[in-house]
A and B are shown apart, each in its own frame.
Chain A
Amino acid sequence: MCHINIFNTENMDEKNFTPEESLSIISKTIEETRKKIQDNGHIMILWGCLIFTVIFSQYMLELLGLHKKFDIVWTCILFPLGAIYTFFYTRRKTKKNNIPKTVLGITIEAMGWVFGLNVLVLATVFNNHIGNALAPVIMILLAMTIIVIGLSIKYKPLTIGGIILNLLAFGTFWVNPAYYGFSLMFGAIVGLIIPGILLNIAKKRGNV
């Protein structure tokens, strides 16, 4: 567990410190608290790999002629498992590391769940209405979520990844629907896996 070692509490001198020192205490404390409560890219990498695996396996099942039998089961098992894991992982991490509630944390969590529920409803209830456009629409929703989170935590690779994913989603409308899966897989890599890995590296180096 990291500590904000900004002053010597043994020699606590109540009033003999300058305004510059006061500002330094404030900025260091706020900066260190933010570092402490910020999540790593673990969940982003998990969801990127999950999307990649599901789409890739669907192509493989199609090649093997098992597409009709297994693809729905595969999707219906892996994504809910990912959601359950995410729920318990974040809950356990918050408890174990004694992470306090923040407005930003609550907003990011809510955005993730709202995105997931919207995708679930679109894919199950409105699948017939939306047809082939489902993949690019999901990508646009994901890109929006990633861009907003990237801007909120002021992390450029995430924002850039989200923008690339957004552009990729628009480009997907122009390609043959048979290749939409490739767009999704590429989107998962640029929008989630790469920024997630970079976020983990930056966190380890203490840059975020």
Chain B
Amino acid sequence: MQKKGEMFSDLDPILHSQLRLSIVSILMTVEETNFNFIKDATKAAAGNVSIQINKLQEAGYINVKKTFKNNYPNTAVSITEKGRNAFEEYVKNLQKYIHPK
């Protein structure tokens, strides 16, 4: 019998994580946002959000720009073309699992 993790092997492992999927879903809706918006929107711990943002950045799915706004650090996050394509592919694969032909 297949294990759950193996069952969805076609699904992008980078996106197949609840928090990373939520972060990318937010970024698909907005042009650009910042770390605090993502943290508030997902209600996840700052450290956890930070780790997942780093993983998404390493995969080339998101752009992260660290600047200062009114003397406070500001982390601007936006989705890349690669990330957008990966998300669309992920949704297509999900639909295949839900509605197999």
- Taking Cβ atoms with an 8 Å cutoff, the residues of A that contact B are 1, 3-7, 9, 12-17, 19-20, 22-23, 25-26, 29-30, 32-34, 36-37, 98-103, 106
Q: Known: A22-B94, A34-B29. Contact between A16 and B5, CB under 8 A?
A: yes
In the complex, what residues of B have CB within 8 A of residue A7's CB? 18-19, 22
Contact with A along B1-38 (1 / 0, CB 8 A): 00011001001010011110110011011111110110
In the complex, what residues of A have CB within 8 A of residue B33's CB? 100-101
Q: How far is the CA of A22 from the CA of B20 in the complex (A)?
A: 11
Interface centre among A4, A17, A36, A102 (most CB of B within 10 A): A4
- Taking Cβ atoms with an 8 Å cutoff, the residues of B that contact A are 4-5, 8, 11, 13, 16-19, 21-22, 25-26, 28-34, 36-37, 40-45, 48, 90-91, 94, 97-98
Q: Known: A4-B43, A20-B98. Contact between A29 and B26, CB under 8 A?
A: yes
Count of A-B residue pairs with CB < 8 Å: 101
B25 contacts A103, C-beta separation under 8 Å? no
A29 contacts B25, C-beta separation under 8 Å? yes
B43 contacts A25, C-beta separation under 8 Å? no
A25 contacts B21, C-beta separation under 8 Å? yes
Q: Known: A3-B43, A30-B29. Contact between A12 and B19, CB under 8 A?
A: yes
Q: Known: A9-B42, A9-B43. Contact between A33 and B5, CB under 8 A?
A: no
B6: nearest chain-A partner, CB-CB: A15
Report 13 cross-chain contacts, Cβ distance below 8 Å, ordered by A residue.
A4-B43, A6-B42, A9-B19, A9-B48, A15-B5, A19-B97, A25-B21, A29-B22, A30-B28, A33-B41, A100-B37, A102-B29, A102-B31
Interface centre among A7, A20, A106 (most CB of B within 10 A): A7
In the complex, what residues of B have CB within 8 A of residue A1's CB? 40
